[in-house]
Amino acid sequence: MSDTRELLYREALNEALIEEMTNDETVFIMGEGIAERGGSYKVTVDLLEKFGPKRVIDTPIAENGFTGAGVGAALTGMRPIVEILFIDFSMLVLDQIVNQAAKFRFMSGNTARVPLVLRTQGGVGNGLAAQHSQSLEAIFYHIPGLKVVMPSDPYDAKGLLKSAIHCDDPVIFIEHKLLYMNKGMVPDKDYVIPFGEASVKREGEDLTIIAWSAMVPKALKAAEILKEEGISAEVVDPRTLVPLDKSTIIESVRKTEHVLIVQEAIRRGGVASDISSIIQEEAFDYLDSPIAILAGKNIPCPFNLNLEKLVVPQVEDIVKAARKSAYK
């Protein structure tokens, strides 16, 4: 009997929610359309039937109001999971998250905790246009007091969401709209993935490709193509941007001596630039070529599906950038 089974990304998230809500009565979830509809991406399907309307709460379209309620509930000892349908709408709750939740432990002299998970999804896909397609992780990455998690496959999605729910600090848990239907092997047994531990998704010798979220499957496909050309690419997925596993990244750079960082977000002010600066400062002597960054274009996302693909890195873009970096 196998100890793993294949689950969709969204099913792995759903399973994590069910397990944690079963194990801990202080865990509850609220958001728009998450109860009777089961969520727009079906991550919360069946939760209402299992746990009832007091723990699975459909909210009005008022992100700032129900996120503030979540922060307050966390301060009283509950473990709320607040779902923001699109990361674009998280701009409505920056005061509650950035000025309140992220600062409370510090401003209370380490006497208070805000164990809140803000689940949201971002990224380009499905022609949802400029107001529903952004990658805004850099905003939260910049804020002291927040954890930032971006899983790329079902195994990581489940294990990291469980860790997020256990965490005593606010966690920004960012999913990607194009990953929900991706399949992967997930253990039958209970497990968690600690924050701050990157995953080497593919071993390689010639080039390190650092990517997260929906860029990881693309990087893995690119690595297969590069293999046929004689380039051995290692793919490193940080999994959590905060805390960032610098040691795994630097060890990979030390081995390959060439680095390509791939992010879907626009380059300006992005996480990739910060990771590049860390490598430059802490692993410069290992580098045999300049650090390369491949990122989304500095424009709003078009509605047209063909144009949409042009504004974020695709597999062929990663292959082209990798060739250039590996051969320098």
So which residues are the catalytic ones?
63, 132
| 98 secondary structure, DSSP code | I
The order of strands in the sheet holding 240-242 is 56-58, 27-31, 79-84, 117-122, 171-176, 147-149, 240-242
Q: How far apart are CA 315 and CA 325, in angstroms?
A: 15
Nearest-Å Rg of the Cα atoms of the chain is 20
- DSSP H helices, 119-245, are 137-141, 154-166, 215-228
Is the four-CA dihedral 273, 274, 277, 279 of positive or negative sign? negative
- Give yes or no for a cis peptide into 60 (omega within 30° of 0): no
Q: How far apart are CA 44 and CA 40, in angstroms?
A: 9
Residue 248 identity (one-letter amino acid): T
Judge residue 77's burial from the number of C-beta atoms within 10 Å of its C-beta, 0-12 exposed, 13-18 middle, 19 or more buried.
Answer: exposed
Residue 126 identity (one-letter amino acid): N
Q: How far apart are CA 11 and CA 93, in angstroms?
A: 27
Give the 3-state secondary structure of residue 157: helix
Q: β-strands 292-296, 259-266: how paired?
A: parallel
